[in-house]
Chain A
Amino acid sequence: MEEQQIRDFVYRVSNDEKLRKELTNSPDDVLRHESFSPRVAEIVRRLIPHLAFDTALATPLNWWAHGYTH
């Protein structure tokens, strides 16, 4: 399940300092060793700059903002 792959990876990075360093130095190598689908790999690649929580999330796509979603 793709959702679970994303969740587990974020948690592992959060807990594992060695993995965080590897991601900083050579993200492609880390992603190569994971058995991600191309779609999940691409998403994880976009998450990497945010995993240390020191890079702002992209602006929300709020063109259709509605009360139910806020």
Chain B
Amino acid sequence: MSDNSHTYVNQFAAQQSLLVERLQFLLATLQSDLRADVVRALGAEGKLLSLQRERDSSTQSSQIVGSWPLLTFLVAQSIAPEIDLVYASSVAVAIEYFICALDLLDDVEDDDQTPIVQTLGIARTLNVSTTLLMLAQQALLSLSQYHIPPERILLLLDTLQACALAAATGQHRDILAEQQPVQDFTENDCIEIARGKAGSLMRVAFLLGAICAGADERTREQFSALGELLGIAHQLDNDAHDLYYLLQDYPSNETLTGTDTIIPGVKTDLIRGKKTLPVVLAAHREDALQGNALPADEQKQVHQRALQDGIITTWGIFLLYHERARDSLQEIGAYVSVSPLLRLLLDL
């Protein structure tokens, strides 16, 4: 590891500790039983309160702990290097609460038996999610104690609500899509679902950082666009990899996009019939290749090829969005001094 990398790691550690401190301060008023469950949720892998466990662990995760609030915090610091740290960390922590709340809802909506759902059960998981949504708002409302202008607090709250509604809309489309035939979906539908779900969340993480730093409208729009591009990119990357890993282990004498086959170990999204881009592309591709009725063995080959083409095409479109995000960051860099830490976090 280079000297520079050491510096980056140390600087992330300092920011992470600051965010953990602020997060715990805002949790202090919760009743003890509720607080214990909220702390469990915020201690899941990759979340801020897993920091100590991660530091104690002999094996380091590839995921940066608290990357969501770090993103908000580092955007604010890039725009306003002298920003008050308690102020910026309160806004960043609101993002951690918000993302954690939606994570829990997503687990329940997808019937995912994640460790936190297994520990808490559905009722407590939902109540912890509600609590976290309230805490996100409370973290922003607490800014009035630091003499932040009410207009700015209102704009932060308004932005959080707007992005939450957009994410919920994307999530709802995604849930409804499970019951609809794959042939009804276009490539564009899949991108729009990704924009609504992942794009909105990444957008709000960037936007709250920009707003809290007092960025002008143009800068806010630029960061918003960057967040949306990155959110879509990561959604497509994950969708391509989910299907790719599945195909590596998948018996070639089965069909995947049909609804009658359940494969052990398959990610829940795929079992549930989510209309991700590689699945939709593969289905359309298979229809195009099939044409006339083929013998069974040729059908399987066509099916396999359609899946492979869907995965590679999706990964290519991911790379396209990643490049667009890189261009967007370059445009921002022309008038905002983007910190090395933020560049490191974004990996663009």
Instruction: Determine whether B201 belongs to the interface, using a CB cutoff of 8 Å to chain A.
Output: yes
Are A51 and B312 in contact, CB atoms less than 8 angstroms apart?
A: yes
Query: Looking across the interface, which residue of chain A has its beta carbon closest to that of B170?
Result: A68
A43-B316, A47-B315, A61-B347 are known contacts. Are A69 and B323 too (CB-CB below 8 A)? no
A39-B320, A43-B323 are known contacts. Are A61 and B305 too (CB-CB below 8 A)? no
Q: Mark B84-123, 1 if CB is under 8 A from A, else 0.
A: 0000000000000001001111110010100000000000
Instruction: Determine whether B63 belongs to the interface, using a CB cutoff of 8 Å to chain A.
Output: yes
Are B320 and A2 in contact, CB atoms less than 8 angstroms apart?
A: yes
Could you tell me which residues of chain A, from 1 to 34, have a CB within 8 Å of some CB in chain B?
2-3, 6-7, 10-11, 14
Report whether over half of chain B's contact residues are helix, strand or loop; otherwise say mixed: helix
Range for the number of chain A residues in contact with chain B: 20 to 34
How far, in Å, is A68 (CB) from chain B's closest CB? 4
Are B63 and A7 in contact, CB atoms less than 8 angstroms apart?
A: no
Chain A neighbourhood of B167, CB < 8 A: 68
Chain B neighbourhood of A59, CB < 8 A: 62
Report whether over half of chain A's contact residues are helix, strand or loop; otherwise say mixed: helix
Instruction: Determine whether A62 belongs to the interface, using a CB cutoff of 8 Å to chain B.
Output: yes
Instruction: Determine whether B21 belongs to the interface, using a CB cutoff of 8 Å to chain A.
Output: no
Residue of A3, A42, A47, A66 ringed by the most chain B CB atoms within 10 A: A66
Are B68 and A14 in contact, CB atoms less than 8 angstroms apart?
A: no
Residue of B191, B244, B315 ringed by the most chain A CB atoms within 10 A: B315
Instruction: Determine whether B124 belongs to the interface, using a CB cutoff of 8 Å to chain A.
Output: no
Q: How far is B328's CA from A39's CA once the two chains are assembled, in angstroms?
A: 14
A-to-B contact residues, CB < 8 Å: 2-3, 6-7, 10-11, 14, 39-40, 42-44, 46-47, 50-51, 53, 57, 59-70
B-to-A contact residues, CB < 8 Å: 46, 62-64, 67-68, 71, 99, 102-107, 110, 112, 167, 170-171, 187, 191, 197-198, 201-202, 231, 233-235, 237-238, 240-242, 244, 267, 269, 281, 285, 305, 308-309, 311-313, 315-317, 319-320, 322-323, 345, 347
A-B contact list, 13 entries, CB within 8 Å: A3-B187, A6-B313, A7-B187, A47-B319, A53-B311, A63-B63, A63-B347, A64-B71, A66-B102, A66-B106, A67-B104, A68-B170, A69-B235
